[in-house]
Every structure is written in structure tokens, then in C-alpha cells.
């Protein structure tokens, strides 16, 4: 089953200085942070801000090419995660034909925002890696080790998952294009 999500925010992970797009389920409180590249973050930020540039960016060009070829983005599906790499599909319509194109989630999100297309996450993926945000929860993080200051030390993956479960999206620095 697929869950519809929205781009909740775009930030910078202060520990790694990497941009992070935060997806939040439409009808719930769980979030899915996906670390992305600076170019894709810049493109997403420009679209969220509603800026119009004099020349098209790569994602604008993709939308133009799809249109010239008679295609329209219907939806994006973020389907799985393997070894910290997320996989997505662009689902396109061209007439009666449905076309699925393998893509990175960051590129898919940038294109979906430009097309007002819906973004979905596979529910199993959401169960495995998403975190639930509660307004009254917070955690202090040791910026050198990346582990919570209070509590037991765990394996790196479990520590990260626990940390993400307890943090608010505002805990990420804001990404500025």
C-alpha cells in the first residue's frame, strides 16, 4: 500500500552539512528524512520558494521535455531503501500509455513539485525507516559522536533511528539556496 506524503521541510543536517528533505505523511505525524545532494536541494528550495529563474534548471528542462514528448507526470513513488540508498519511480502518462521511470527520490521530488504531482511512499518503507514526530519530544545530540547525550549507547543504526524518532524537523538547519 502507498501512503501520500508532502514535502514538510528542507533542511541541513548540522552533523554532516548535508541537505535533508523531510517528507511527512499527509494524514499522519510520521516523517521520512532523506539526505540529498546540494544541487537537488537547491532545485527543490527554488520551487518551494516560488522563484522564477531566467533560464530553466535541469528539473525544469525535464518537465519541458516530458511535455514536448506528450507525457505528464502522474505521481512519484518512493518504493524502497537498500543500504541507505532510496529508490523512486516517476509514473508518467502519455495518452493511454503508462510509463515507469527509475529515478532518485531527490530528482523525483523536484519534478513532482514542478508538476503538482502527488508523492507516495511505500507503507513498508515507512514502517521500516520513518519516524513519528511528537511536539513535546526533543533530544540533545553530541555533535562529535552523533549520539544522544542521555541514554544508552547503541549500534550506529539504532542510535540514528532513535535520534530521528525524537527530533523535530526544526532541529535540522534550514537549507538556503
**DSSP per residue over 103-151, as a string?**
E-HHHHHHHHHHHT-EEEEEHHHHHHH-EE--TT----EETTTTEESSS
Helix or strand holding residue 86 (H, E): strand 85-94
With a pLDDT cut of 70, the percent of the chain lying above it is 73
Mean pLDDT across 141-155: 36
What would the CATH number be for the domain defined by 2-68+120-174? 3.10.690
57 vs 170 pLDDT, higher one: 57
Residue 155 has pLDDT above 70, yes or no: no
The residue extents of the domains of the chain are: 2-68+120-174
The rounded mean pLDDT for the chain is 80
- State yes or no: pLDDT of 31 exceeds 70: yes
Amino acid at each position: 500500500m502507498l501512503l501520500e506524503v508532502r514535502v514538510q521541510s528542507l533542511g541541513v543536517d548540522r552533523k554532516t552539512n548535508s541537505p535533508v528533505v523531510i517528507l511527512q505523511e499527509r494524514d499522519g505525524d510520521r516523517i521520512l528524512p532523506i539526505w540529498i545532494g546540494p544541487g537537488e536541494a537547491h532545485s527543490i528550495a527554488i520551487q518551494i520558494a516560488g522563484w522564477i529563474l531566467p533560464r530553466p534548471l535541469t528539473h525544469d528542462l525535464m518537465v519541458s521535455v516530458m511535455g514536448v514528448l506528450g507525457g505528464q507526470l502522474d505521481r512519484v513513488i518512493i518504493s524502497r531503501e537498500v543500504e541507505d540508498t532510496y529508490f523512486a519511480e516517476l509514473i508518467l502518462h502519455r495518452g493511454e500509455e503508462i510509463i515507469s521511470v527509475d529515478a532518485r527520490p531527490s530528482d523525483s521530488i523536484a519534478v513532482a513539485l514542478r508538476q503538482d504531482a502527488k508523492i507516495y511512499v511505500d507503507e513498508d518503507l515507512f514502517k521500516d525507516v520513518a519516524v513519528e514526530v511528537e511536539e513535546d519530544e526533543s533530544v540533545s545530540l553530541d555533535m562529535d559522536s552523533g549520539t544522544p547525550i542521555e541514554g544508552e549507547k547503541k549500534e550506529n543504526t539504532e542510535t540514528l533511528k532513535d535520534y530521528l524518532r525524537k527530533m523535530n524537523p526544526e532541529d535540522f538547519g534550514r537549507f538556503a539556496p
